[in-house]
């Protein structure tokens, strides 16, 4: 048996790699997608091979992520429950898509992920696999009782790693979990599960990675010009950029001015509520600028029709239905609405 595993090099996926190899008697191909998380990827291949993988594939998917996932979503004006810019939601289908492609190329029998049984990511991975490669089996160790019995907590995973000489850093657990990519970084769980806990307090300043606190932002304002062509930003301050370049520049500008922080409680697809604290500096600027361009260039009835579909489109993205026929049908309508969304928007940050 051959399995392609979504691998980060952290404790969970390192332990899962070895556990899959032993319990499924399988050859493991580790896969890591570079989608702008800016985590240390150097040495990841060597770590995966030492842990037991036969191969480690690290793919830079940042440009594809910006061009084929973030930009179409911005064109649609997508925002979940009026506040969430869908940073994690939109990344999972791309990762799963590439996993499926590798599985087919390697003639693998299954793909595997380290998502837990109480979150949205398990659904996003598995719906993508079902849409693109229904013949490929999906293995989710955290939903297997034998895995949970062996690893009821972090201490057991660290002990397993030490016993099997798995090269992971068993550092102290953070009081929250994080997920970072080109569009955003999210913080959830741990201390953040108390909705009364102040995530903007001085003692939590060190948590944020992409933006300064609004209290620490410059007192002097800054102007930025965004040029749109058919609903896509193609220039920033007159400089022609590919989607990846646009996101990087806007992330830098937004972060400097403390833009894009959101602290919300959202309704998860799996039936529970969860608090999320998000930094989306570039995405917030792009979303707002795009809307301002539409107010000047879009027909009233077309705008109202598209806006009526934003909740449904956003829900589809959030729930993992990116490759569904209904999302693709909505995208076709969105594309039609964007044909005159062309011009320059000036924002004061």
Residue 8: burial class (beta carbons within 10 Å; 0-12, 13-18, 19+): middle
The model's pLDDT over 13-45, given as tens digits with 9 standing for 90+, comes to: 999 999 999 999 999 999 999 999 887 677 899
- Mean pLDDT in residue range 158-173: 82
The model's pLDDT over 169-213, given as tens digits with 9 standing for 90+, comes to: 756 667 898 999 999 999 999 999 999 999 999 999 999 999 999
Of the residues 92, 248, 261, 306, which is catalytic? 92
Helices (H) and strands (E) in the chain, counts: 12, 13
Give the per-residue pLDDT at 56: 97
The fold for domain 183-348 equals 3.90.1260
| pLDDT band per the 50, 70, 90 thresholds, residue 98 | very high
Give the per-residue pLDDT at 230: 98
Give the per-residue pLDDT at 172: 61
The model's pLDDT over 48-79, given as tens digits with 9 standing for 90+, comes to: 999 999 999 999 999 999 999 999 999 999 99
Nearest-angstrom CA–CA distance, 210 and 253: 10
Give the per-residue pLDDT at 119: 87
Angle at which helices 11-23 and 154-163 cross, to 10°: 60
- Mean pLDDT in residue range 231-235: 98
CATH number of 2-60+92-163: 3.40.50.620
Of the residues 121, 248, 261, 275, which is catalytic? 121
Three-state DSSP state, 321: coil
Could you tell me which residue, 36 or 168, shows the higher pLDDT?
A: 36
Active site residue 221: no
Active site residue 340: no
The model's pLDDT over 334-348, given as tens digits with 9 standing for 90+, comes to: 999 999 999 999 999
Three-state DSSP state, 343: strand
Residue 242 has pLDDT above 90, yes or no: yes
Give the start-to-end residue ranges of the domains of the chain: 2-60+92-163, 183-348
Of the residues 177, 198, 213, 299, which is catalytic? 177
- Mean pLDDT in residue range 153-167: 91
Nearest-angstrom CA–CA distance, 170 and 154: 9
- Mean pLDDT in residue range 129-150: 97
Active site residue 121: yes
Give the per-residue pLDDT at 332: 98
Give the per-residue pLDDT at 276: 96
Active site residue 198: no
């Amino acid at each position: 048996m051959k399995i392609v595993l979504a691998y980060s090099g952290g404790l969970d996926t390192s332990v899962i790699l070895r556990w899959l190899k032993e319990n499924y008697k399988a050859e493991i191909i580790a896969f890591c997608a570079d989608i702008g998380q800016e985590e240390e990827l150097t040495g990841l291949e060597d770590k995966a091979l030492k842990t037991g993988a036969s191969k480690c594939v690290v793919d830079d998917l940042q440009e594809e992520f910006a061009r084929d996932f973030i930009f179409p979503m911005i064109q649609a004006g997508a925002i979940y429950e009026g506040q969430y810019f869908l940073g994690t939601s939109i990344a999972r289908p791309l990762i799963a898509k590439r996993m499926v492609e590798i599985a087919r190329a390697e003639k693998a029998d299954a793909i595997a992920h380290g998502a837990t049984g109480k979150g949205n990511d398990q659904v996003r991975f598995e719906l993508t696999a079902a849409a693109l490669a229904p013949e490929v089996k999906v293995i989710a160790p955290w939903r297997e009782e034998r895995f949970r019995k062996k690893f009821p907590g972090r201490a057991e995973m660290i002990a397993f790693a030490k016993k099997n000489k798995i090269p992971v850093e068993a550092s102290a657990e953070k009081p929250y979990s994080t997920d970072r990519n080109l569009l955003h970084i999210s913080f959830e769980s741990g201390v953040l599960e108390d909705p009364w806990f102040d995530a903007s307090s001085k003692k939590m300043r060190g948590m944020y990675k992409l933006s300064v606190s609004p209290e620490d932002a410059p007192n002097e304002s800054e102007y930025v010009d965004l040029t749109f062509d058919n609903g896509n930003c193609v220039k920033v301050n007159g400089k022609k950029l590919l989607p990846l370049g646009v996101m990087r520049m806007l992330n830098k500008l937004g972060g400097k001015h403390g833009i894009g922080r959101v602290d919300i409680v959202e309704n998860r697809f799996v039936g529970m509520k969860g608090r999320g604290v998000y930094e989306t500096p570039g995405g917030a600027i792009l979303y707002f600028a795009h809307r301002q361009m539409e107010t000047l260039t879009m027909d009233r009835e077309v705008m109202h029709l598209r806006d009526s579909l934003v909740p449904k489109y956003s829900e589809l993205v959030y729930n993992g239905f990116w490759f569904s026929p209904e999302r693709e049908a909505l995208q076709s309508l969105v594309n039609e609405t964007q044909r005159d969304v062309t011009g320059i928007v000036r924002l004061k940050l």
